[in-house]
Structure 1
Amino acid sequence: MPRIRGQRHRLFAAAVTALTVMSLAACGARTGEEPASGSQAAEVDTSGDTIKVGLLNSLSGTMAISEVTVRDALLLAIEEINADGGVLGRQIEPISEDGASDWPTFAEKSEKLIQQDGVAAVFGCWTSASRKAVLPVFEQNGSLLFYPVQYEGLEQSPNIFYTGATTNQQIIPALDYLREEEDVESLYLVGSDYVFPRTANRIITAYAEEHGIEIVGEDYAPLGSTEFATIATKVEDSGADAVFNTLNGDSNVSFFREYAATGLTAETMPVLSVSIAEEEVAGIGAEYLAGQLTAWNYYQTTEGAANESFVQAFQDRYGEDRPTSDPMEAAYTSVYLWAAMVEEAGSFEVEDVRAAADGITFDAPEGTVTVDGDTQHLFKTSRIGRIGADGAITEVWSSGEPIRPDPYLETYPWAEGLS
């Protein structure tokens, strides 16, 4: 059984819940609502000829710029698996719900998918605020969420499989790259005002203290904010060597346009972003991003036959102008991993699937990934990319091999006390 951090896990969850509530208030979202919870574990509906799964993504609101493509990738994986015979001889029936970029709505829709629809698993969420909002629903109902996006770590749940990067597979390699390859000695931190950016920046600050990097400024904006003139001016005046960007959603559009308006460029003060992928580049405008850096585990340009097939299939299905990106690749991969777990278990039941998960591998577009049953995270390869004038992101550095997930940063002495 995967480890659950007892008191430390509960204390951190409580602290993060309080932070989420404050962040939601700043974003103008509904607060004070408890996620609905079932009094007993929900049952997977195996009565029909199909097996249902839930897709829970923001199809409207500020996060739709990022999450619609994730839903599309999930549907592609389901279609491919169904064409190949389905799972345990059953076709997968997707039920899609819109989280609407609103965390209480995510909790409400997850409850509906689990209790009313009897899904075998749910695939979705993007922001950590949405994941934190639904986590108690999945734990109280004994259901499974497959979460496809990089996040701040410091969390494990028996009811979540994390198929995006945890901190030691994205943020720390990004900091190592800035320090070792770009000679960065000072950073300005810019982020959205909710769980992921604030927690990530705590980790970044601890790293900076350990490695002699000066944090010269730190600013947050409400999720969905379009007012960045003041922050852009402060960034320019700071004289930082680089900016570490944890903004999410369409706030990035306004930030990078204001950044460019100040006269800053990737040459004068590079920005490394951890939530901008190919889909967001198209929405922001490549002319505002050329030369800037990103940290992910996958790019559309990642080499390999599996990725070539994936990109071709996605564009055949949705149009040749549609790019692929890390979160949607991790979502696509998550469906295949779930299907492999089910086949290994010979069962759709949650406990059986979890018991069969350890060591499951998949030849993913990003390269081979392996499930670590202990943490329910994946072994993943870290990659730094540079955005081109054409909007494509080209890898400029790689870890070379998959990195073991370390969500609590136990192998980093300087991180002691963060969790």
Structure 2
Amino acid sequence: MKLSRRNFLKRSTIASATVLASPVVFRQSAFASDKPILLGSLLDLSGGLAASGVPMKYALELAVEEINAGGGLLGRPVKIVGYDTQSNIQLYSQYAQQLALKDRVDVVHGGITSASREAIRPTFDRYRLLYFYNVLYEGGVCDRNTFCTGTTPAQTVQKLVPYAMDHAKGKTAYIIAADYNYGQITAKWMTKYVQDNGGKVLETDFFPLDVTNFGSAISKIQAAKPDLLLSALVGGNHTAFYRQWESAGMKGQIPIASTTFGLVNEPETLAPAVSNDIVGAYGYFQELDTPASTKFVEAIKKAHPDSPYISELASATYEGVHLWAEGVRKAGDIDRMKVIEALEGGVSFEGPSGMVSLDKATHHTTRNAYLAKVADKKWDVLETYKDVEPSDTASVCDLVKNPNDNKQYVIEL
């Protein structure tokens, strides 16, 4: 049977919405109104980023289940309308318009890579649809319609680089990163923090997301002989680097610190010989030994025993949904501007990562950061940094003074 591309995309859209929309059982006695508040979700549940997107979906569903179990919002249930963006930027753009124009959702939580965020953020600005981006990223987004709940370089990279340099044999570093805005900008932050700590970056190499062969790159690193390797590689394809690094006999020769390792389930899927001793810094690790973290992990694992590693991406998604819900409660309304103003008035949530508070001027979060090292397929949390502010984005973004800003700044270093 022949199927045109237009009909295929149309059928795929309908199928994705049907499969991914979370079931909500409406009982007359449970809510004052059966008309649901619609929460849009755009996440990569297949393709190279699925190991990150799937736990984010589970965390989002858990947050909505908790909200509904507590009576919903404004006496109404919350219902998820979700699409699998399949690690495809074109589908992000397509489904963003679908959520805004056809589904007419009240808020969107979604996006993983910075490229996906920048593909959909203008759409939500255009159609005045509130947007939450719940992912660690390179910083600089300044948009009153957007809230960014994950960590920025000032919260994690600033902790990671000095620690890694202190535990290296010398002060020279080599940087490898994904070739798009996250990797390019993060590499600049890495360079700044290396230099701030008396070091020197010998070279920086960028790799498209589809690259899987790193033989020549490893040869270049061997020739350069750095004291430390800093990685901002992204996605399932780039995981191949670490296997090839170990196969080349480099494991243990040059220590690795990464801003992304573990976000695609690497410690659990790679052999300990490949992943042991890699250092990372995030806003959350599932190994955190706190009641809130344990409860969060157990809830997801109970519902989804086969869930990939539960990283900052999942915890920030869970916390982002609850922060939005607090804004709706505070506003007493689902109206976009009323919710934004309520969120700007000061909203916090005690989540699995600790206390998370929204910053009025930047729409980012002040949150804890953690530094850890891989040991036998798990993260060993070594350091905790309390209430770290997004000072990098704060240096370029002030939505109190400039409420009409709606762009991403490249922070001058």
Q: TM-score band, normalised by the shorter chain?
A: 0.7 to 0.9
Pairing of 1:248-327 with structure 2 (within 5 A) = 248-265=234-251, 267-277=252-262, 279-319=265-305, 322-327=308-313
SS at match of 1:69: helix
**Aligned-pair CA distance for 1:60:** 2.0
**Aligned-pair CA distance for 1:338:** 0.7
**Aligned-pair CA distance for 1:138:** 1.4
SS at match of 1:380: strand
- The structure-2 alpha-carbon separation of the partners of 1:306 and 1:292, relative to structure 1 and needing over 3 Å to count, comes to same
Superposition RMSD in Å: 2.1
* Paired AA for residue 354 in structure 2: G
Residues 130 and 145 in structure 2, CA contact (< 8 A), matched pair in contact too: yes
Residue 393 of structure 2 aligns with which residue?
Answer: 408
Structure 1 position 238 matched with structure 2 position 238? no
Give a deviation string over 1:353-391, Cα, whole Å, max 9, x none: 1101132111110111111121111111121111111x1
SS at match of 1:198: helix
CA distance in 2, matches of 1:181, 1:291: 11
Residues 178 and 184 in structure 1, CA contact (< 8 A), matched pair in contact too: no
Give a deviation string over 1:145-186, Cα, whole Å, max 9, x none: 211111111221112111100121111121222234546511
How high is the TM-score relative to the length of structure 2?
0.84
Runs of 4+ in 1 over 6 A off after TM superposition: none
**Aligned-pair CA distance for 1:321:** 6.3
Residue 399 of structure 2 aligns with which residue?
Answer: none
SS at match of 1:356: helix
Give a deviation string over 1:190-216, Cα, whole Å, max 9, x none: 111111000111222233334331111
CA distance in 2, matches of 1:408, 1:377: 8
Residues 307 and 364 in structure 1, CA contact (< 8 A), matched pair in contact too: yes
Deviating more after overlay: 233-242 vs 140-149:
233-242
- The structure-2 alpha-carbon separation of the partners of 1:418 and 1:183, relative to structure 1 and needing over 3 Å to count, comes to farther
Residue 202 of structure 1 aligns with which residue?
Answer: 188
Query: 359, 365, 370: which is aligned to 2:352?
Result: 365
Residue 159 of structure 2 aligns with which residue?
Answer: 173
**Aligned-pair CA distance for 1:123:** 0.9
Give the share of equivalent positions with the same residue, in percent. 28
Residues 299 and 394 in structure 1, CA contact (< 8 A), matched pair in contact too: no
Residues 123 and 147 in structure 1, CA contact (< 8 A), matched pair in contact too: yes
CA distance in 1, matches of 2:184, 2:44: 22
- The structure-2 alpha-carbon separation of the partners of 1:185 and 1:354, relative to structure 1 and needing over 3 Å to count, comes to same
SS at match of 1:151: coil
Residues 382 and 403 in structure 1, CA contact (< 8 A), matched pair in contact too: yes
Residues 54 and 308 in structure 2, CA contact (< 8 A), matched pair in contact too: no
Residues 177 and 232 in structure 2, CA contact (< 8 A), matched pair in contact too: yes
**Aligned-pair CA distance for 1:290:** 1.1
CA distance in 1, matches of 2:65, 2:411: 45
Residues 162 and 197 in structure 2, CA contact (< 8 A), matched pair in contact too: no
SS at match of 1:333: helix
CA distance in 1, matches of 2:410, 2:258: 25
Residue 147 of structure 2 aligns with which residue?
Answer: 161
- The structure-2 alpha-carbon separation of the partners of 1:58 and 1:417, relative to structure 1 and needing over 3 Å to count, comes to closer
- The structure-2 alpha-carbon separation of the partners of 1:138 and 1:258, relative to structure 1 and needing over 3 Å to count, comes to same
- The structure-2 alpha-carbon separation of the partners of 1:235 and 1:336, relative to structure 1 and needing over 3 Å to count, comes to same
- The structure-2 alpha-carbon separation of the partners of 1:102 and 1:180, relative to structure 1 and needing over 3 Å to count, comes to same
CA distance in 2, matches of 1:297, 1:217: 28
Residue 50 of structure 2 aligns with which residue?
Answer: 64
* Paired AA for residue 171 in structure 1: V
* Paired AA for residue 368 in structure 2: T
- The structure-2 alpha-carbon separation of the partners of 1:300 and 1:417, relative to structure 1 and needing over 3 Å to count, comes to closer
SS at match of 2:391: coil
Residue 12 of structure 1 aligns with which residue?
Answer: none
- The structure-2 alpha-carbon separation of the partners of 1:248 and 1:322, relative to structure 1 and needing over 3 Å to count, comes to closer
- The structure-2 alpha-carbon separation of the partners of 1:321 and 1:352, relative to structure 1 and needing over 3 Å to count, comes to closer
CA distance in 2, matches of 1:192, 1:375: 26
Query: 212, 223, 230: which is aligned to 2:209?
Result: 223
Deviating more after overlay: 134-143 vs 271-280:
271-280
SS at match of 1:357: helix
**Aligned-pair CA distance for 1:66:** 1.6
Residues 179 and 185 in structure 1, CA contact (< 8 A), matched pair in contact too: yes
CA distance in 2, matches of 1:402, 1:142: 31
Residue 377 of structure 1 aligns with which residue?
Answer: 364
- The structure-2 alpha-carbon separation of the partners of 1:221 and 1:314, relative to structure 1 and needing over 3 Å to count, comes to same
Gapped regions of structure 1 (runs ≥ 5) = 1-46
- The structure-2 alpha-carbon separation of the partners of 1:180 and 1:217, relative to structure 1 and needing over 3 Å to count, comes to same
SS at match of 1:167: coil
Residue 8 of structure 1 aligns with which residue?
Answer: none
**Aligned-pair CA distance for 1:346:** 0.5
CA distance in 2, matches of 1:220, 1:320: 33
**Aligned-pair CA distance for 1:336:** 0.8
Residue 374 of structure 2 aligns with which residue?
Answer: 387
CA distance in 2, matches of 1:244, 1:169: 17
CA distance in 2, matches of 1:340, 1:280: 34
SS at match of 1:96: strand
* Paired AA for residue 96 in structure 1: G
Gapped regions of structure 2 (runs ≥ 5) = 1-32, 397-408
Structure 1 position 418 matched with structure 2 position 412? yes
CA distance in 1, matches of 2:291, 2:306: 18
* Paired AA for residue 81 in structure 1: I
CA distance in 2, matches of 1:58, 1:321: 15
Structure 1 position 90 matched with structure 2 position 76? yes
How high is the TM-score relative to the length of structure 1?
0.83
